[in-house]
Amino acid sequence: MSKALVLLTVLAGLQPRETAAQTPGSVELGVLGAGDLTRSAEPAVGVAMVLNLSPRLAFNPSALHFFHRDGTNWQIGGTLRYAPPVPVRPFALYLGAGAAWTWTTLANNGRSNVVWMGQVGLDLPMSRVMPFVEVQLLKYDTVNSQLVAGMRVGLGER
């Protein structure tokens, strides 16, 4: 395949969309990286899905694995996301609230928690490829914050 055709294909896939509203029933799958902003920069990798329920409402389950020097931390959760019709062009703003289950093993001690989770994020709506960045707040006995960024691919019309 010629380099010009590859370049045109990539550029066609990266053109911003005209609207941030989602098509109900469409699904997006993605990979993400995260860092804990509250504690000492614990890196994480994970996967996420967005199931669009209406033009402004979506369900967003995700799983993250944080890397610790002395153990590991898993976070599996889901939020209900709302995309308000606020012009933050070219981005699409979303707000989410939900719950997460966390499992931590440090120095051979395991601990499980169910925590409240909130998120504020920005999508860059493109054809099928959607980079995003968000801040998640988790309510343990204190409030922890995470910076999450990644890329989702739409499996249907958005």
Domains and CATH numbers, the chain: 3-154 (2.40.160.20)
Question: What confidence tens digit (pLDDT) does each residue in 22-63 have?
Answer: 677 889 999 999 988 877 667 899 999 999 999 899 999 999
d(CA 10, CA 14): 6
Q: Which residues of the chain have pLDDT under 50?
A: 1-20, 158
Residue 69: predicted pLDDT: 77
Residue 115: predicted pLDDT: 92
Amino acid letter, 115: V
Under a CB-based contact definition with an 8 Å cutoff, are residues 19 and 48 in contact? no
Residue 26: predicted pLDDT: 87
Residue 2: predicted pLDDT: 47
Residue 21: predicted pLDDT: 56
Q: Which stretch of DSSP H or E encloses residue 143?
A: strand 143-154
pTM of the model: 0.77
Residue 73: predicted pLDDT: 84
Give the number of other CB atoms < 10 A from CB of residue 49.
17
Torsion angle, alpha carbons of 99, 104, 110, 115, to 10 = -20
